[in-house]
Chains A and B, each alone.
Chain A
């Protein structure tokens, strides 16, 4: 009998003996939702996030015009153009609706990439400790010392190709140290638990313990962190674009703001509406993140 089947048998036997009640995934999700529902603010945040995601998803259906469609330039908001038109005569409302696709993509993709790197780093450093931890954390500290936006400016400036995907890639490569620290400190304390010892005594590999035993317990804090960091990356992309390092070909909210900036003296609507979209998205993620933090019972401190 090889090790895995033995493990499996031990597992089922012990489960049969003790009959521990383990709620299904759906039940656990429902519990979180019930806690989340208690706070009106968290619910509002969830609503905003859902709304923005829907807008991004069905942009071609709800946008009154194609993003490339051009009419009269610089028209103030009216019934035909609720958000006015831009310098090239494009409908601002449609641009803001289509912009949500790019801005949300940037936020979600950058966070996903950041977590991939940050969680792996933090997991390895926290689980193994000692020399490995020291080396990995030294690297983390170095990157953490420099302001993220500054590293982004320098890194994006050196790439000659202006592409939204490269911006996302750079943001992920630069932004992971905070997540790494959070995950590491969780692993440092969780690896001392008895269930880890039990898994070790049954001969589980380090990889298996890290990914199957400890990581699920760190997930709540990672989810909260991700929710709260999405607006940050959307802001970073918008700031980078605004400073002239963006991808002009993809009309994110940042690009719209940069274009509107030149007409700030006469046409207020060009900078107002993309900014409001950024603001509401950020409020949504922040409220939702706060609510999730309470519902998942996570404390995020300074690391």
Chain B
């Protein structure tokens, strides 16, 4: 099978999965006994039935759920995610404004944590049972045993409240006009430090454990002994022969954990008032903004499915045997 047919076959499988996901999320959202029009009106207690009916008809909630789903699906296929109940604006625009903040945070944290994890993981595996290995492994244990939001709270308490080194929320200092774009950029970077550091500490912990154990497994294999017996330099054995194979499970893990990483990042966004998709999702879930929640769910589903696919493709390129399975 060529790589192209492999990718096409995988893409075809994605389509039905995507429809199932949209139906599932739609069902969960509309399962609720309550009524978002009541939340929209904002009145507690008795609201005249005519007013509720008017709102329900306006939002399209008076129709059966199945009809609502197919109406939603119809406009979705035309690229229309509908209007937000709460903001009275197209959902696609609302998401578009926020997606770059989420991507910024995730990409920066991801690149840094992969770099740290690979370097430390390789050292820990090569110098098995050394002090560096012990420190790296303990650090990883602490990292993945710490609740993400608690680590964020501790970071805020220490660096923002006690030491006053770094800002604790938002993307820029409010109420200040910056002398130059460089100052503005610097201010933005200062706001990035805490959320990025918390994410890096958490994500590195998982990756580090994985790189270390995968590297240890590869280093014990016969072809490594052969490479050493041939008289190759240790550097080449480790970085060219071992690392390439050791990184294969890491690639899969990265591709398949995008959804999980996003969920963790949402909590961090919420705590640091970072105006990305995660914080938005929490706010809209409280207000029961059905179209926005659907839109967010679909964007995330597409993101995850594409990440899964690219992980498989990357794996297929790195290890051609996989395509023939």
Contact = CB atoms under 8 A, between A and B. Distances in A.
Interface of A: 138-139, 141-143, 145-151, 153-155, 157-160, 231, 235, 238-239, 242-245, 257, 261, 264-265, 268, 271-272, 275, 278-279, 282-283, 286-287, 301-302
15 contacts: A142-B20, A146-B259, A146-B300, A147-B260, A150-B300, A151-B28, A239-B267, A242-B149, A257-B153, A275-B150, A279-B150, A282-B147, A283-B142, A286-B141, A302-B249
A160 B297 contact: no
B119 to A, nearest CB: 22
Given A158-B28, A257-B153, A264-B157, A149 B145 contact: no
**Interface residues of B, dominant DSSP:** helix
A207 B31 CA distance: 34
B285 A153 contact: yes
Nearest to A156: B285
B252 to A, nearest CB: 6
Nearest to A143: B24
A239 to B, nearest CB: 5
B304 interface: yes
Contacts of B45: none
Interface string B131-149: 0000000000110111111
B300 A282 contact: no
B304 A146 contact: yes
Contact of A158 (B32, B157, B253, B305): B32
B17 A141 contact: yes
Contact of B156 (A151, A264, A279): A264
Contacts of A245: 285
Interface string B286-311: 10100001000100110011001000
B264 interface: yes
Given A158-B29, A235-B148, A238-B150, 18 more contacts: A138-B17, A142-B17, A142-B24, A145-B259, A150-B259, A150-B300, A153-B282, A154-B28, A157-B285, A231-B145, A235-B147, A239-B267, A242-B270, A243-B270, A265-B161, A271-B150, A279-B150, A283-B141
A128 B141 CA distance: 39
Contacts of A235: 147-148
A22 B31 CA distance: 52
Nearest to B24: A142
Contacts of B285: 153-154, 157, 245
Contact of B288 (A148, A151, A157, A239): A157
Contacts of B146: 279, 282
Given A145-B304, A279-B147, A302 B25 contact: no
Contacts of B313: none
B253 A302 contact: yes
A239 B16 CA distance: 32
Given A142-B21, A143-B24, A160-B33, A244 B161 contact: no
Contacts of A264: 153, 156-157, 161
B263 A147 contact: yes
A257 B144 contact: no
A287 B141 contact: yes
Interface in B261-296: 262-264, 266-267, 270, 281-282, 285-286, 288, 293
A242 B270 CA distance: 10
Nearest to A161: B33
Given A143-B24, A268-B157, A239 B304 contact: no
Contacts of B252: 302
B255 to A, nearest CB: 10
A302 B315 CA distance: 14
Closest CB pairs A-B (n = 5) = A158-B32, A149-B263, A147-B263, A147-B259, A275-B150
A210 to B, nearest CB: 27
A138 B20 contact: yes
Contacts of A147: 259-260, 262-263, 300, 304
Contacts of B305: 145
B157 A154 contact: no
A238 B147 contact: yes
B155 to A, nearest CB: 11
A275 B145 CA distance: 11
Contact of B297 (A146, A268, A302): A146
B249 A286 contact: no
Indicate the member of A145, A235, A238 with the most B CB atoms within 10 Å. A145
A150 B156 CA distance: 24
A160 B32 CA distance: 8
